[in-house]
Amino acid sequence: MHGPRPGEVTDVPPGVLPVHEVAEQREVRFAVLQFLAVGLLALVLVATPVAFWVRAEAERHALANARDITQRLADNVVGPLITEELLAGDPAALQVLDQRLAPWLNSGNVSRIKVWDENGRVVYSDAESLIGQEFEHEEWARLLLEGGPGTASLEYQTSDENAFEVGSGELVEVYVRSTSRSGAPMVFETYSAGEAVRREQHSVLMGMIPPMVLSLAVLQLAQLVPAVRLARRIQVHQATRNALLRCAIEASDNERRQIAGELHDEVIQDLSGLAYALESEERRGTAELRPVFSNARTMLQHDVRKLRAMTSELYPPDLEELGLKASLLRLQSLLVERGIAFVVEIPDTLVLDRDQGALVYRVARESLVNATKHSAARSVEMRIRQSGRQTRISVSDDGIGFDAKEHRAEDHFGLRILADTIRSAGGSLHISSSPGHGTSVVATFGESAPVMRWSGKKPAAAPVREVDEVEAT
């Protein structure tokens, strides 16, 4: 037994899904996976800047807390102990302040303390070598002494005044305004380890990111259900459109068969009989009437030949019975009768579903009919290429061509209808021509459309066969 031809309708074994159902399920899965991938990408795109924003806000909040704590320390502990004796460098006054600040320094909350006067002189520090040194105040220090807000920053210390802090890593540096017992403005400065700020950042992130990501994930999953329903609804509409397209193609083929049958069985037979009658009358008639009968018989025979050619063009062959390649090769009779050379390149194996095979045949037939009727061509070339899931058929001639801007639409009405049909099936049809340079018709089809149910039969499935991939031109 021979295997099924490409495009032939075969029954599906029990328990095996038809090809079109497998393709539909694959398309739905792909659409769902694409939706999830886009949702995941959106989740990352949203969560990433939010995470950086939360991290920055956590750092700002931690620095604000450090500034507030330092301000309370300056107002409640340090300020009342900045006496005239301390400003004069009295050891007893310095020792009293050392004792009051010892709990802060020993606990590790604060690693360095400095007190500056308005002239930039260090009047107190836990590092005794800094006491009495003078440094030029920057603009922010002058603003702070004039009543401006305190500042807090997290950074590495590299300036001259930070000789004891160099190499300590990230430190929280806080400057607040304080006043001595006499009311003189002072700058109170503290340094503390930056790990506390980083820990608070991490704690805030771990507290906010998981619920935020979970909320976005729940939103994504909530949208997945209507997305799947929408994909299936679109798929149903696509299947309905394909079914209507197939009905239109089949109705057109049936109409062509009916017209061809009526021409062959009635009109052609009657005209052939009339031609024989005229031939008989020509033989028996008088010499004066013989030329009349001869001319009439010749005209009838010519018309009969044209009508027979028309029926060959109208009547579509049975693609399931002959196969697409054999049906395409039969089209050369349209050209041979008119002395037109025909070059054909068709792969030995063509894998097309029933409907795409019909459309490929229609492209070839309409192109060849137009070439024989309008182009005055001496040769026509037809090539079919398959590469992966794409099929391409091209028909070109060396005829007179035409100006696409000036030609009459009715001259290529069949191709115009065919172009609309191919576009509805998800393909494309391109016609190029110019005066004196012939005409080229190129049709391209993508992945096979799903095969729908036909009345009285099981769902048709295109045979699965190995394809010799040919480079698409």
Q: What CA–CA distance (Å, rounded) separates 427 from 444?
A: 6
* pLDDT tens-digit readout, 305-326: 778 767 766 666 666 677 888 8
**Nearest to residue 382, comparing CAs of 338, 335, 437?**
335
* pLDDT tens-digit readout, 18-74: 444 555 566 667 777 787 788 788 778 877 888 888 788 888 888 888 888 888 888
Q: What is the mean pLDDT of residues 113-122?
A: 88
**Topology annotation, domain 318-473:** Heat Shock Protein 90 (3.30.565)
- Bridge partners of 395, per DSSP, are 382, 441
CATH 3.30.450.20 fits 53-193, yes or no: yes
**Nearest to residue 19, comparing CAs of 243, 352, 249, 250?**
352
3-state secondary structure at position 396: strand
3-state secondary structure at position 83: coil
Total Cβ atoms within 10 A of residue 188 = 26
3-state secondary structure at position 61: helix
pLDDT at residue 452 greater than cutoff 50? no
* Average pLDDT along the chain: 76
CB 398 within 8 A of CB 378: yes
Rg (CA), the chain: 46
Query: Pairing state of beta strands 112-116 and 185-193?
Result: antiparallel
Confidence of residue 462 (pLDDT cuts 50, 70, 90): very low
Q: What is the pTM of this model?
A: 0.44
**Nearest to residue 457, comparing CAs of 3, 11, 1?**
11
Q: What is the pLDDT of residue 404?
A: 65
Q: What is the mean pLDDT of residues 228-232?
A: 77
List the domain boundaries for the chain. Answer: 53-193, 318-473
pLDDT at residue 468 greater than cutoff 70? no
Total Cβ atoms within 10 A of residue 183 = 7
pLDDT at residue 161 greater than cutoff 50? yes
Tokens of 371: 């070439």
- Bridge partners of 121, per DSSP, are 134
Looking at residue 403, the DSSP 8-state letter turns out to be: -
Q: What is the pLDDT of residue 382?
A: 92
Residues near 339 by Cβ (< 8 Å), separated by ≥ 6?
none
Q: What is the pLDDT of residue 459?
A: 33
